[in-house]
């Protein structure tokens, strides 16, 4: 095979490879018969997209380009405010990012986005489709996560298969294991996906997938000078918001699962996730890590976003970003939680709240110097 194509696994050149890969994944798990209807759209999507996929492989094999700017990588637990930060930064047109279309069609966006995205957006608007996880209208231009792209590309180790196969969550949320180490092939696929975006835009990238928070070592192997922005948020708010968000996946999963089961696994996952970040953050050079608090960004966006821009070494376009924030203010979405449950979770996460309070105090001290 041509050396230029060597970064693309040989199996991907096989006709209809995605359909066989998908079948392999679903037959390796125990499905719920009541959820079989959720499966149909997947192979249909890959069947329709197959001609474009093969064309795009040819394009990708000849256009790969080394990333020459340091990417900006937003870290933090799910529901900690990472999407909010991501959406603010990508209002600045000097940056490139994965939008929803690109993570849904990572294998064909070079050849289809200009034509197909407007059509799908029109259909979405007519049908009033929603992004249930974010409780907002489906818009193909809003920021997405490259981890979704890895799932769409059918990498069997993508963490987001945990939402599709919730009963097998430990297999995909493998960071809950004591010997956690990200799959080498998964990280190579991640790097390939990121490189493809850079090659197609030639702009500095702003990336956000919460799972990257515990892959710091592996990301630094690819991008040793990347800039990392970590978002802190009240652990209780993160936990309850995450349960609500995960529950929206239940209708689309391939296995039956309940909100109570999500509650049972999410507390363990939060603790392990945070512990792994604390363990790995010292790997990042001090000048390349900024920790900010979601609550501070909401209460004083000008000061905190100025700090972010100073950190990443870019000009702060106040008019554009603060204008967007004024038109799209953060609106907390209330949740019905019993006092008993809130106290229970508060006690479980007390030590993590204390750590965040210390970090917040340090942040405020540095900002007053």
**pLDDT higher than threshold 70 for residue 225:** yes
Copy the structure tokens of residue 38: 């959720």
pLDDT digits (tens, 9 = 90+) for 9-53: 999 999 999 999 999 999 999 999 999 999 999 999 999 999 999
What are the pLDDT digits (tens) for 233-243?
999 999 998 99
Overall average pLDDT of the 47-71 stretch: 91
Who wins on pLDDT, 93 or 347? 93
As for how many domains the chain has, the answer is 1
> What's the mean per-residue pLDDT of the chain?
90
Helix (H, G, I), strand (E, B) or coil at 128: coil
Q: Is 250 part of a structural domain of the chain?
A: yes
The 10s digit of each residue's pLDDT in 83-97 is: 999 999 999 999 999
CB atoms within 10 A of CB 303: 11
Question: Does residue 355 carry a pLDDT above 80?
Answer: no
Residue 274: what pLDDT? 92
136-164 pLDDT, tens digit each: 899 999 999 999 999 999 999 999 999 99
Could you tell me the sign of the dihedral formed by the alpha carbons of 114, 116, 119, 124, in that order? negative
Torsion of CA 262, 268, 269, 274, to 10 degrees: 140
**3-state class of 155 per DSSP?**
coil
Task: Give the bridge partners for 95, in sequence order.
Answer: 204
**Which pLDDT does position 35 carry in this prediction?**
94
pLDDT band at 330 (very low <50, low <70, confident <90, very high): confident
User: Between 365 and 312, where is the model more confident?
Assistant: 312
Its pTM surpasses 0.75: yes
* CATH number, position 314: 3.40.50.300
Grade residue 360 by pLDDT with cuts at 50, 70 and 90: low
Q: Is 118 part of any domain?
A: no
pLDDT reported for residue 159: 94
Choose the weakest-confidence range: 173-177, 189-193, 252-256: 173-177
pLDDT of residue 68: 83
pLDDT for 368: 43
| pLDDT tens by residue, 254-288 | 999 998 888 888 888 899 999 999 999 999 999 99
For the segment 187-197, the average pLDDT, to the nearest whole number, is: 96
Whether the pLDDT of residue 185 is over 80: the answer is yes
Give the CA dihedral 287, 289, 293, 298, nearest 10 degrees.
Answer: 80
Give the burial string for 8-18 (b: 16+ CB within 10 Å, else e).
beeebeeeebb
DSSP state of 134: T
DSSP element (H, E) containing 270? helix 259-280
Whether 126 is in a domain gets the answer no
Range of the domain at 148: 65-98+143-367
Domain membership flag for residue 56: no
Q: How much is the pLDDT for 62? A: 87
Quick check: 358 pLDDT over 80? no
Distance between CA atoms of residues 256 and 165, nearest Å = 9
Report the pLDDT value the prediction gives residue 245, as an integer from 0 to 100.
Answer: 87
């Amino acid at each position: 095979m041509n050396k230029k194509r060597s970064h693309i696994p040989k199996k991907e050149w096989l006709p209809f490879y995605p359909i066989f890969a998908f079948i392999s994944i679903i037959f390796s798990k125990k499905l719920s018969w009541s959820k079989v209807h959720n499966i149909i759209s997947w192979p249909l999507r890959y069947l329709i997209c197959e001609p474009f996929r093969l064309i795009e492989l040819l394009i990708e094999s000849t256009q790969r380009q080394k990333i020459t700017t340091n990417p900006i990588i937003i870290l933090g637990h799910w529901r900690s405010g990472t999407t909010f930060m991501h959406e603010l930064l990508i209002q600045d047109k000097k940056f490139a990012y994965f939008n929803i279309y690109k993570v849904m069609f990572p294998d064909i966006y070079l050849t289809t986005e200009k034509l197909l995205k407007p059509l799908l957006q029109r259909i979405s608007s007519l049908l009033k489709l929603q992004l249930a996880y974010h409780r907002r209208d489906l818009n193909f231009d809003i920021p997405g996560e490259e981890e979704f792209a890895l799932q769409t590309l059918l990498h069997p180790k993508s963490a987001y298969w945990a939402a599709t196969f919730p009963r097998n969550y430990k297999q995909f949320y493998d960071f809950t294991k004591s010997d956690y180490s990200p799959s080498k092939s998964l990280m190579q696929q991640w790097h390939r996906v990121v490189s493809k975006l850079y090659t197609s835009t030639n702009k500095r990238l702003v990336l956000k997938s919460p799972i990257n928070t515990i892959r710091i070592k592996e990301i630094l192997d690819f991008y040793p000078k990347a800039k990392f922005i970590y978002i802190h948020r009240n652990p209780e708010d993160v936990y309850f918001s995450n349960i609500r968000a995960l529950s929206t996946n239940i209708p689309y999963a391939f296995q039956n699962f309940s909100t109570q089961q999500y509650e049972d696994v999410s507390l363990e996952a939060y603790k392990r996730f945070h512990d792994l970040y604390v363990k790995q953050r010292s790997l990042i050079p001090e000048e390349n890590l900024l920790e900010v608090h979601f609550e501070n960004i909401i209460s004083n966006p000008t000061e905190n976003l100025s700090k972010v821009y100073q950190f990443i070494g870019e000009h702060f376009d106040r008019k554009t970003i603060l204008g967007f924030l004024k038109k799209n203010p953060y609106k907390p979405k209330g949740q019905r939680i019993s006092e008993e449950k809130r106290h229970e979770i508060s006690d479980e996460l007390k030590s993590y709240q204390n750590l965040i309070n210390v970090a917040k105090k340090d942040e405020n001290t540095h900002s007053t110097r």
